């Protein structure tokens, strides 16, 4: 990451600490863990919630046969401009993940295979959480994958626990929970997958590490 990107990230954190949720961008280790073994069919797309400076986006680009089948939803306009310059083949919109279904339809993209989230659910209110979960539920077909991370220091926070319970109610227990210690702060990657259609094989997920309680 460039010095300019780091300054932009810190500036965004100072202005909107609850929305950013961390004083430093995600590490390369966290980006690798959240995209591990992600296989994206050529006729499906990927949506990323809160791409920020693009650390996860760069890894996702490597997993995609066609980067144009990507949609990033980012609430900070400075990041949207920076991401559009860095990834000209990909689509980024300024807005909230609450409206992901609308943004997906407007982009004219194929059905979604995976939603990757960098949002700080521990600091999001219940109403916002519920609308985002409803969007995930609407977007993901059979076999669809959702991956996010939660910082270990906030893993037991009421809103973080509430989010996992909401997801568990719709998708069942997480398919994997993998701790990434080499991140500031350390984080747990949490993955869910909608049951695949009959006769298909579930997608591989990151190998579990030391799991906190779900």
Question: Structural domain boundaries of the chain?
Answer: 3-193
Q: What is the Rg, in whole angstroms, of the alpha carbon atoms belonging to the chain?
A: 16
Q: What is residue 210's predicted lDDT score, i.e. its pLDDT?
A: 47
Kindly report the average pLDDT of the chain as a whole number. Answer: 87
Is residue 118 very low, low, confident or very high in pLDDT (cuts 50, 70, 90)?
Answer: very high
Residues 36, 60: Cα–Cα separation, whole Å: 10
Is residue 14 very low, low, confident or very high in pLDDT (cuts 50, 70, 90)?
Answer: very low
Using alpha carbons only, what angle is made at residue 180 by residues 179 and 183, rounded to the nearest 5 degrees?
Answer: 145
Q: What is residue 23's predicted lDDT score, i.e. its pLDDT?
A: 46
Using alpha carbons only, what angle is made at residue 188 by residues 26 and 23, rounded to the nearest 5 degrees?
Answer: 35
**Closest CA relative to residue 121, chosen from 147, 85, 142, 87:** 147
Whether the predicted pLDDT of 13 surpasses 90:
no
Whether the predicted pLDDT of 7 surpasses 80:
no
Answer whether CATH 3.40.50.150 is correct for domain 3-193: yes
Using alpha carbons, list the distances in angstroms from residue 120 to 9, 150, 151. 15, 7, 8
Residues 135, 101: Cα–Cα separation, whole Å: 6
Q: What is residue 177's predicted lDDT score, i.e. its pLDDT?
A: 87
Residues 41, 60: Cα–Cα separation, whole Å: 13
Whether the predicted pLDDT of 207 surpasses 70:
no
């Amino acid at each position: 990451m460039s010095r300019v990107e780091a300054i932009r990230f810190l500036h965004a954190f100072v202005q909107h600490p609850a929305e950013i949720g961390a004083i430093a961008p995600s590490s390369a280790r966290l980006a690798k863990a959240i995209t591990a073994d992600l296989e994206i069919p050529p006729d499906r797309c990927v949506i990323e919630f809160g791409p920020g400076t693009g650390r996860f986006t760069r890894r996702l680009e490597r997993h995609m046969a066609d980067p144009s089948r990507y949609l990033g939803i980012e609430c900070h306009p400075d990041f949207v401009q920076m991401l559009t310059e860095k990834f000209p083949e990909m689509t980024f919109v300024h807005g909230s993940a609450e409206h992901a279904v609308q943004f997906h339809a407007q982009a004219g993209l194929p059905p979604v295979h995976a939603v990757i989230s960098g949002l700080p659910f521990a600091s999001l209110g219940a109403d916002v959480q519920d609308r985002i979960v409803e969007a995930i539920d609407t977007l993901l077909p059979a076999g669809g994958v959702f991956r996010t991370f939660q910082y270990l220091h906030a893993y037991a926070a009421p809103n973080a626990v509430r989010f996992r319970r909401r997801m568990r109610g719709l998708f069942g227990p997480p398919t994997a929970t993998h701790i990434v210690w080499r991140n500031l702060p350390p984080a747990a990657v949490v993955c869910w997958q909608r049951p695949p259609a009959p006769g298909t094989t579930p997608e591989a997920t990151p190998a579990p590490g030391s799991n906190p309680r779900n």
